Amino acid sequence: MKIGIIGASFARAAYLPAFRHIEGAEVVAIASARLESARSAASSFAVPHVYDDWRRMLDQHSFDLVCIATPTVTHAPMALAALDRGAHVLSEKPTAMNAAEAEAMLDRAEALGRVHMIDHELRFNAKRRRIKHLLDTGAVGQVRHVVIDNVGSSWADPSSRAEGDWWSSAEQGGGRLGANGSHQVDLLRWWFGEIVAVSGQVKTIVPHRIDKATGRKWTATADDFVQFAAELSNGALASVTISTIARHARGNDLSIYGSEGTITLSNDTERLLYAPAGQPLAELHVEDPYAALEGLNPGIWNQSVVGALRELCAAITEGRPLREGATFADGLRNQRVLDAIKHSERERRWIGLPA
């Protein structure tokens, strides 16, 4: 299987180590806006071809699979171009800049018969899969409400982001709603079903920033704080807070409260706790099948990518749709939720979502 990757940073952290554990997968080319980044990643993993022009890379190779790990604004044009050239596609999240772009990606992939995946790799994490099993088997009864808090400090200092950082640019699709909120929306949909309405705030609380290297003042336009409530199709309510501008981080904590039990999970410690009604919370020990694989970088994101890529490559090899993981159809539903949260911010009201 001939693979091309666009975007060197996450490729080096996650994709390239993961592909070493997939039989028959051969990464033949990497493209990056910074040629030195492509060369560095390629040299570490014996990838023979590097480019600073992704279009030229697509023109000069016939790929079975193209993986896209670039700023959000580029996802749709890159995905459409790769699909048109005969490749199956994995794209990073958020899916696109808006639902119209996401729908175009899905329509093209389906029309051409390509396998398509959005890299919501946490669907392949062992503990989050255990949560789904607990929910599906009624371990907590009827889910009443869900609380997700992700409070970090990485953007709190005005000099913590370099000028030109795409994550701080709304025009390039940066911001925490897309970067982290898309993962939370995907997990909510995967665990509980569709989101039917949202009410939220999407804010840039620290817009005035200073480049640490040059001392230049610049303005961030992408959100650094997000808070939204979601009504789920099963009647449950979810509350999500995402911040990167707290001076003291609290990490990422999940709590699921049901009529017959409770589940909690901390991203910082990865401690999964569960208890039925009337009993104290107790830790569930769940072995991660990817944690011990040689050469993977630490962390659930880098490890869970192995499961996502194994399923994607198997689907391509076997000529079938995905059996697990988030497709472009999931990406479209996800994008509609993100768009609705922004809509809610503008109009300061609840926004319903189509069935």
pLDDT (0 to 100) of residue 251: 85
How far is CA 89 from each of CA 85, 185, 312, 314, 320, rounded to the nearest angstrom? Answer: 11, 21, 9, 13, 14
Instruction: Please report, for the chain, the start and end positions of each structural domain, with discontinuous segments joined by +.
Output: 2-121+305-325, 126-282
Q: CB-hemisphere CA count at 13 Å for 176? A: 26
Are 94 and 34 contacting, i.e. CB atoms less than 8 angstroms apart? no
**CA 340 to CA 194: how far, in whole Å?**
14
Between CA 339 and CA 343 the distance in angstroms is 6
pLDDT at residue number 355:
80
Give all strands of the β-sheet with 2-6 in edge-to-edge order: 49-51, 26-31, 2-6, 65-68, 88-91, 116-118
Tell me the HSE value of 202 on the side-chain side, using a 13 A CA sphere. 26
pLDDT given for residue 289 in this prediction: 95
Where does 126-282 sit in CATH, by number? 3.30.360.10
In the prediction, which pLDDT does 268 show?
A: 87
DSSP state, 227? E
pLDDT in tens, the chain (355 residues): 999 999 999 999 999 999 999 999 999 999 999 999 999 999 999 999 999 999 999 999 999 999 999 999 999 999 999 999 999 999 999 999 999 999 999 999 999 999 999 999 999 999 999 999 999 999 999 999 999 999 999 999 999 999 999 999 999 999 999 999 999 999 999 999 999 999 999 999 999 999 999 999 999 999 999 999 999 999 999 999 999 999 999 889 999 999 999 999 998 899 999 999 999 999 999 999 999 999 999 999 999 999 999 999 999 999 999 999 999 999 999 999 999 999 999 999 999 998 8
Token representation of residue 108 = 């093209």
Helix/strand/coil for 211: coil
Q: Which CATH number does the domain 2-121+305-325 belong to among 3.30.70.260, 3.20.20.80, 3.40.50.720, 3.30.360.10?
A: 3.40.50.720
Largest CA-CA distance found in the chain, in angstroms, rounded: 63
pTM > 0.75: yes
DSSP character string of 71-114: -GGGHHHHHHHHHHTT-EEEEPSS--SSHHHHHHHHHHHHHHT-
* 207: preceding bond cis by omega (within 30 degrees): no
> Rounded CA gap, 15 and 26, in Å?
12
